[in-house]
Amino acid sequence: MNRVILLTGANFRTESGWDAFAVNKNYAEAVRRTGALPVLAVDNTSADEYAALADGLILTGGKDVEPSLYGEAEPHSSVQCDPERDAMELLILRAFLNANKPVLGICRGLQLLNVFLGGTLWQHLPDDIGEHHESGTVHPVALAPDSVVGTLFGSRILVNSYHHQGVRTLGEDLRATAHAVVDREKTTVEAFEHVNGRILAVQWHPERMLGASDASIADMTPLFRHFLEMSGIC
């Protein structure tokens, strides 16, 4: 019997006017490759049922987290939010953590986890701290040696970049385990772990780095395999 990993997705309206949910198929493929069954969350009224059904939760990428959730009244002009998705994911996230089920945050998912645990975000990195990687480009990341990502991938890797926001202050009991490297200096947080070992998050998109054909870019299959081990699947 397949074990289950719950994926969150984006709300959108089709050209025919239908309200729908969707998730990039790369997330589902990443879960499938490592031996589990991906299931898409479609509402927040079933948060406890989702937590009972699934062995783990992946918070996927998408629009920006509503700035008011981390104490900022004025959104930057670049910010695009989905309050309905924020509300749904926060309820589901709480249910999984209450059930002691592991959570993997990816890009927006990392940011939402940080906010949920009391952290804050830079709303627009180019304006806030003068740092920006063009969408789809790769850049170096330094990994902490005593961390999940450091154990899996070594001290430094190249990762992709599809974000304009980032961690400003870390949430409670989170430990930064990877940082972007700019001009040989560590800068913004690119990954963190919770001290209880049940939360892992990365700012890059590992689902787009499975079996990477470019030898300079890390193959992220081990990251998903580790998450499934956290879920008791592997």
β strands within 72-155, DSSP E: 103-106, 120-122, 138-143
* Contact between residue 199 and residue 175 where contact means Cβ atoms under 8 Å apart: no
The amino acid present at 161, given as its one-letter code, is: S
DSSP string, 49-70: HHHHH-SEEEE---SBPPGGGG
* Contact between residue 190 and residue 125 where contact means Cβ atoms under 8 Å apart: no
Token pair recorded at residue 102: 């592991």
* Contact between residue 56 and residue 104 where contact means Cβ atoms under 8 Å apart: yes
Query: Among all residues, which ones are annotated catalytic?
Result: 107, 205, 207
Q: How far apart are CA 219 and CA 215, in angstroms?
A: 8
